[in-house]
Amino acid sequence: MVENNRRSVDRYAAFERHLGTIIGALILGAILWVGSNVTANIETTARTDVRLSNIEANLKELKHTVNSGMDDRWRRRDALEAQKINDERFNRLDSWASETEKRLDRLEANRSSNK
């Protein structure tokens, strides 16, 4: 009977060792699987960061292009202001021409009356 107990204890100990080995292998497999997925996610994140950096650079370049195009564009406000300045110049020239014409008429009238 003692030998029978010994065999059953040895079987139980062997079963525990096998069960521990199986559980250890499962845990190791799970750790390896998680590590592999983490590594894949890190690689994906790195590629995404590179893509985002490229997109950001392209966006800055596009913004610069649009802003430089806006600087070259003749805005409506600028056109209205230029038109106002030109209208004022034209009015001054028209007034000057009218005054000069009146002076010329007076001079001609004086000249013809002096003859």
Which pLDDT score, from 0 to 100, does residue 114 have?
A: 74
Residue 85: what pLDDT? Answer: 96
How far apart are the C-alpha atoms of 103 and 95, rounded to whole Å? 12
- Both 22 and 67 in one domain: the answer is yes
Please check whether residues 54 and 104 belong to one and the same domain.
no
106 and 56 housed in the same domain = no
Q: Is the whole model's pTM more than 0.75, yes or no?
A: no
The 10 Å CB-count burial string (b at 16+, else e) for 79-91 is eeeeeeeeeeeee
Q: Identify the pLDDT of residue 4.
A: 63
Asked if 9 and 58 sit in the same domain, the reply is: yes
DSSP letter, residue 115: -
Residue 101 shares a structural domain with residue 47 = no
Are 57 and 13 found together in one domain?
A: yes
Q: pLDDT tens digits, residue range 60-108?
A: 999 988 887 766 667 788 888 999 999 999 999 999 999 999 999 898 8
Q: Looking at the structure, tell me whether residues 36 and 89 fall in a common domain.
A: no
**17 and 50, same domain (yes or no):** yes
Q: Residue 9: what pLDDT? A: 66
Which residues constitute the domain of residue 109? 74-115
Number of structural domains, the chain? 2
Residue 110 confidence (pLDDT) = 84
Amino acid in position 91: N
Q: Are residues 57 and 11 in the same domain?
A: yes
